[in-house]
């Protein structure tokens, strides 16, 4: 186990989600689907979607400002901004740069991190290492996605899944390392199955407007059944390995906060870990899959609802395209 002498911890958390709600009944008017079909297969009832003219930076900034306020940290005290996203406003500048300017954190470095749905956990792991080497630093870790802008609204298998939003945390040295802080991480990748979940158009291989590529490839494409099988296997493996190497058990966990991709995946994981329903946080019905933003949004709501208290053991686990996967154990 990692030493208690120095731990990083989440000092404050915030979210930013669009006000526009797209329900399953709205989708019934757009594609051949139904509320019953979507709910049964995904657990999703509605999702938040950017309005025309809105950008995800607006909500990343909103989430960051709330996290700073709750952490009682000023923007000038932030040393680094890490933004996990696969849907920045622009390729240049990065989303983290827009957040840095938007919150006036003029003493901070900033960079984006791309690890799809596992991005927030990857960002936490990077921030944790920076704090270990720079104990006085304060770091913003943000998960922010505008997946509605990468969704094919004519494809009923994917357009039902995704939503937009942002969540942010301030990471700093734990004031009580024996009772509070990040305990351990696992990060992993399986690149052998990358072709099962793709967004090919717009990169350097197929630049925008490249006529060699069908228009469908400029949106997210997924082979759902195959992705499901790999996701549940990897999320279970990560969760059990984290507990084993830290000397903890599922009985020690106060709350599991998984990536909100599909209710069936979450339920499968819960059963494999032998956790009661009250120990698993679920809000996919309200937001859909917000990729890197899903875990911080869920963490925020779990705290708001009193599901986690100071000192509680929380397990985070995610799986995303690539394939990437990751887990984190922390004392809240």
Of the candidates 156, 162, 164, the residue with the CA atom closest to the CA atom of residue 261 = 162
Q: What b/e string do you get for 70-84 counting C-beta neighbours within 10 Å, with b at 16 or more?
A: bbebebebbbbbbbb
DSSP 50: P
Between the alpha carbon of residue 176 and those of residues 307, 315, 324, 331, the distances in Å are: 21, 19, 32, 10
Of the candidates 85, 60, 260, the residue with the CA atom closest to the CA atom of residue 140 = 60
| Contact call for residues 102 and 243 (beta carbons, < 8 A) | no
Q: Give just the sign of the alpha carbon dihedral 156, 116, 188, 120.
A: negative
- The catalytic residues are 117, 259, 289
Of the candidates 239, 237, 244, the residue with the CA atom closest to the CA atom of residue 314 = 239
DSSP 307: S
Cα 242 to Cα 330: distance, rounded to the nearest angstrom: 11
Between the alpha carbon of residue 222 and those of residues 30, 162, 198, 227, the distances in Å are: 20, 12, 7, 8
């Amino acid at each position: 186990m990692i030493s208690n002498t120095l731990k990083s911890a989440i000092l404050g958390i915030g979210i930013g989600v669009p006000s526009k709600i797209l329900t399953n009944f709205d989708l019934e008017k757009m594609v051949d689907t139904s509320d019953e079909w979507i709910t049964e297969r995904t657990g999703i009832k509605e999702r938040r979607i950017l309005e025309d003219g809105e950008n995800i930076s607006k909500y990343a900034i909103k989430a960051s400002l709330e996290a700073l306020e709750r952490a009682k940290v000023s923007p000038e005290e932030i040393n680094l901004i890490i933004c996990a996203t696969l849907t920045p406003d622009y390729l240049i500048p990065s989303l983290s740069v827009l957040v840095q300017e938007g919150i006036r954190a003029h003493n901070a470095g900033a960079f984006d991190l791309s690890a799809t749905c596992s991005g927030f956990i990857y960002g936490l792991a990077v921030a944790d290492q920076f704090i270990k080497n720079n104990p006085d630093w304060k770091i913003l870790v943000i998960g922010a996605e505008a997946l509605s802008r990468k969704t094919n609204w004519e494809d009923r298998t994917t357009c039902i899944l995704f939503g937009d939003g942002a969540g942010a945390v301030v990471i700093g040295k734990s004031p009580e390392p024996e009772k509070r802080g990040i305990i351990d991480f696992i990060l992993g990748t399986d690149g052998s199955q990358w072709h099962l979940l793709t967004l090919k158009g717009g990169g350097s291989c197929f630049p925008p407007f490249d006529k060699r590529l069908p228009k469908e490839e400029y949106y997210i494409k997924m082979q759902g059944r195959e992705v499901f099988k790999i996701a549940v296997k990897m999320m279970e493996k990560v969760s059990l390995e984290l507990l084993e190497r830290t000397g903890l058990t599922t009985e020690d966990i106060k709350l599991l906060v998984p990536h909100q991709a599909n209710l069936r995946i979450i339920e499968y994981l819960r059963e494999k870990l032998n956790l009661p329903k009250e120990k698993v946080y679920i809000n996919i019905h309200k937001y859909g899959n917000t990729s890197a933003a899903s875990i911080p949004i869920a963490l925020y709501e779990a705290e708001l609802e009193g599901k986690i208290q100071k000192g509680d053991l929380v397990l985070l686990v995610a799986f995303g395209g690539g394939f990437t996967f990751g887990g984190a154990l922390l004392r809240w």
